[in-house]
Structure 1
Amino acid sequence: MNKWTKYSAVLAAGVLSAGLLTGTASAQPSTTARSCGLNLGSVTAGGDHREQVITEEGAVVDNWIVAKNLFPDGQVRLSATVRYGAAEVGGMAHVGPVIMGSTMYDSTYVTANGQGPVTERQLTRVGPGWQVYRSLDRSTYVTATAQRETEYSLHNDGTLYRRNVTYKNGVASRQVTGWQSGYRGVKAMTLISQTATYDTFLMTLTSGKLYTARLPLAGGHIIPGVVKQVRGSTWQGFERLVAAACDDGVLLLGIDKDTGSAYLYKVGHANGAATSIRMIRKVPGSFEEPVYFHWQLFSGERLAGD
């Protein structure tokens, strides 16, 4: 087994060497102390990975290029959550799937300290047929004894697919474990809660409504999701949502690509129309990157269960 295969297998199993940042941390060390925040990732038009660290007050305290020229210019359409942590081979590892055109790839690479030259780069072709999907996300749930990775993709016909992701010799494989129709009107969605038995997403609709969808992991091929309306209007402007755990809820960033603006909210426990939502502020800066995603610390950190 070469060092890259060994690294990939260890990373996939969730076992990382010591020295990871704790709490809500960035993909590389930040000079700004904070209690919670949102690590916003993006793929630039030039194929770079960028990170912006947004505090719970809505300030951007860090903004840098994590890795340059990872992908061909303008080719990435979608990215799921990108996980990062100390790699067994040394340096900081970054792992996450992307869709370029009609093809999905698993992307993995290492940098010395979360920035700088890329080493141990690998782009593994998963397969074609992904041009019909308009959203992609992944839930990684880790306990002391087990780990699951569940991938969700929304088809253009409004069917939400759930896939189980497993690893052998460091290579990921996917198996469809369920689907549910009826999501045609969904404009943007993001994972806001995880437990051992289900995942919960927040979704904006083209009609302006805001919904939660609780998706159990057990059961047959038809996912018996529980969908609840949270708000009845005004949410149609956001083409991308990104969420991160914060205290007893999540920080939610809504990105309006038409205006290049982003707004930060604090969302409490998901409970239908009774869910508390507080707008914190419009986040300073321009948000016009082609693709946005969430950076997730690869040490068992996850969104709070609801």
Structure 2
Amino acid sequence: MRRNITLMAGLALAVPVLTAAAPAHAAPAEATAQAANTCSVESGGLTAAKNTVDRYVNATSPITVKPVDTMALKPFGDRAISLSTNWVWDDDLNPDQMSYDGHVVSGGVMYQAHQWVEKGTGGKVVSSSMTRVGSGWDAFRTLTQSWSLETSGHRMYALRNDGVLFRWNLTPQNDGTNVWHAAGSYPGFSAVKAVTLLSRTSTYDTLLATTRGGALYTIHIPLRSPMKPVVKPVRRSTWQGFETLLTARCGNYGTLLLGIDKETGSGYLYAVGHANGTATVIKSLGKVPATFDDQLDFSWASVVAAPLFGE
């Protein structure tokens, strides 16, 4: 699994600024996201009791939610966690234990976190590690990981408070460790509020982002250097209420999107067709019958889950 990590600095580039008022047109009323009623978002959270939890939000009609499972009891001890990536679980490495991997920020320091949890015990932690990556992360407000078992290594995106989006490549070493390589930065995203991964391929990543003004954008990021994102408006209003966006693949080309409004503790589920600017089809599936009152929200996924392919 991924262990000791070295952090290298990013490279700033001078580019135009993203604005929130790009024009958009209404999409068709009917969504084309594939098989939405068979898909689910595995919504995770860190509770006030410092436990990590998991709930499956199913795109049935009406929406159903599995009872909350405790994944790990106080896996970070009493540390305050300010940011988290999505988390990956694996239940095949050990017949008696679950393996969890993710990255978190605590006290302005990035850590790679790993836990072994005994199966069937309600989250009893057998072992937990917090490998320091580096400091300075109190200047960042979003953290998004692009990861897949099918391709070696993964990528990390972080949005700094001044609106600069950074990318790092995480390269696995023969000894099982990872090295962080700076892979570019791009200013102009100060209006962005929430970010999630929409697509991962061998040539590009796509982020889905909302702005404080209510717009919804795709940020298409080719993997070549220098880093030059292509921003496209998807919707121009009504998305400002979500502090968190969570995504899950649905069919070959569709995405299930969960938007969480932390002020009200509400979640809303959407079936999203393959992204195509303002022509992207988004179908509202309704309000989720659950309360999202955890201190921090993130998503879970199996280590063998197919990568997102929403654009």
Q: What band does the TM-score fall into relative to the shorter chain?
A: 0.7 to 0.9
Please list, as runs of the form range in 1=range in 2, the aligned pairs for 1:1-306 lying within 5 A after superposition: 35-57=38-60, 58-73=63-78, 75-86=80-91, 88-90=93-95, 91-113=97-119, 115-143=122-150, 146-168=151-173, 169-220=175-226, 223-247=227-251, 248-299=253-304, 301-304=306-309, 306=311
Name stretches of at least 5 consecutive residues in structure 2 with no aligned partner. Answer: 4-36
For residues 227-268 of structure 1, the C-alpha deviation after alignment (integer angstroms, 9 at most, x for no partner) is: 000011111000110000012311101111111111001111
Output one character per residue of 1:26-63: Cα deviation in whole Å (capped at 9) or x when no partner.
Answer: xxxxxxxx832110111112221100111012311231
Structure 1 residue 74: Cα displacement: 6.5
Contact 2:2–2:172 (Cα < 8 Å) also in 1 = no
Deviation at 1:87, TM superposition (A): 5.2
Aligned letter for 1:244?
A: A
Q: Is the 8 A contact 2:265 2:293 kept in 1?
A: yes
By relative contact order (CA 8 Å, sep 6+), the higher-ranking structure is: 2
Q: How far apart are residue 8 of structure 1 and its match?
A: 5.1
- The code of the aligned residue for 1:201 comes to L
For structure 1, list consecutive stretches of 5 or more residues without a partner in the other structure: 1-6, 10-33
Once the two structures are overlaid, the 10-residue window that deviates more, 64-73 or 108-117, is 108-117
Name the CA shift for 1:263/1:300 in 2 (closer, same or farther; >3 Å).
Answer: closer
Distance 1:207 1:74 in 2: 33
Identify if the C-alpha distance between structure 1 residues 244 and 300 changes in structure 2 by more than 3 Å, giving closer, same or farther: closer
Cα pair 2:149 2:303 within 8 Å, conserved: no
TM-score, normalised via structure 1 length: 0.84
Q: How big is the alpha-carbon RMSD for the aligned residues of Structure 1 and Structure 2?
A: 1.8
> Secondary structure of 1:251's match?
strand
**Distance in 2 separating the partners of 1:142 and 1:111:** 21
Write out per-residue CA displacement over residues 112-168 of structure 1, whole angstroms, 9 at most, x where no aligned residue. 33743111321111121100000001111343xx42300110000101100011233
2:218 match: secondary structure: strand
Q: Count how many residue pairs are aligned between Structure 1 and Structure 2.
A: 272
Is the Cα contact below 8 Å between 1:192 and 1:303 reproduced in 2? Answer: yes
